[in-house]
Amino acid sequence: MPREALEFRVVVASPSDVFELRKIIFEVIRELDRIFEVQNITIRGLGWEENASPGIDSEPQRVISTQILRDYDILIAVFGAKLGSATSTDRSGTVEEIENAISKENSEMGMHRVQVYFRDKIDSISSISLDELQRLADYRNSLSERGILYREFKSNDELQREVRVNLQRPISDYLQRRDRHPVSAPHKPPDTQSEASAQADDSRKIDSANDLGFLDYQEKAEAAVNAANASMSAMSGLLEEITAGTNQNVEELETISSPLVPATEKKKVVNSFADFLKSRAARLKHEALRTHPGSLDS
């Protein structure tokens, strides 16, 4: 049957040079959406890729802004080596989106409503513009001067971890505030004494449910989120182990490829590598089952 879900909308803003980083952020949003689903909560990512239709205005940025900046809760902005093209009102379209989020001072997400990330790595000197880098540095400095905390990252994995933690925090904080101060229905004076008594009984039942049932549910959901995060961190570590172990075994296999090395020695190395992969694969499956129970065959 149809259900009502609490929806959080997250806008992803960036210049055009970090398309791959945008994909990483959207994947984290989808991941958290799956985790929070047990609480009947939806986390929806908004970006020009899927949520902005072609249109006409005084400039392209206005076409995008009027569609994806109308109703949202958190804005995540990511920069690489460019600040982006200037608009009629700001240094770039992405900056304009950030300033829009900063101006939402009554946001339920409070100080976490704006989250800005800068990549602290240059892949190729020949592919960047020094002028763009300077514009980017100037804007980053201006954020600091205004008391706006940003994050720098060096790798895609680091960005993924930062976004996962920093997006989850304000949502969890909001749910805890809602639990402490549940929204009550507008009061309506009862017509009779019996109706007043019935309303009082209903009110006590609702308060009891909010005090006990929802808190228990919230506690279990938060435990599930923490367990899922721990499993994903463990899987990340296992993948790094597999990569390092594979590189090491490839080097060993190249060393023993000589016809002078006995077959028994070669077999020992190959079997050792197979056992290594088998054990890590089993641990990966175990962690994946902890994150998404029932998603894999036992």
Which one of 131, 153, 178 terminates a domain?
A: 178
pTM of this structure: 0.58
CB contact set of 81 (below 8 Å; sequence gap of 6+): 17, 119, 122, 127, 128, 129, 132, 133, 136
Q: CATH number of the domain that 80 lies in?
A: 3.40.50
Domain total of the chain = 2
- Same domain membership, residue 89 and residue 134: yes
**Is 88 a member of any domain?**
yes
- Same domain membership, residue 82 and residue 13: yes
- Same domain membership, residue 248 and residue 140: no
- pLDDT, tens digit, for every residue of 30-85? 999 999 998 899 999 998 766 555 655 555 566 566 666 678 999 999 999 999 98
- pLDDT, tens digit, for every residue of 54-69? 655 555 566 566 666 6
Q: Which residue has the higher pLDDT, 277 or 64?
A: 277
Residue type, 144: S
Two structure tokens written together for 160? 């993924």
In this predicted structure, the answer to whether residue 173 has a pLDDT above a threshold of 50 is yes
Query: In terms of residue numbers, what domain contains 14?
Result: 6-178
Which one of 159, 178, 197 terminates a domain?
A: 178
**Is 202 a member of any domain?**
no
Two structure tokens written together for 272? 């050792």
- Same domain membership, residue 108 and residue 30: yes
CB contact set of 206 (below 8 Å; sequence gap of 6+): none
In this predicted structure, the answer to whether residue 191 has a pLDDT above a threshold of 90 is no
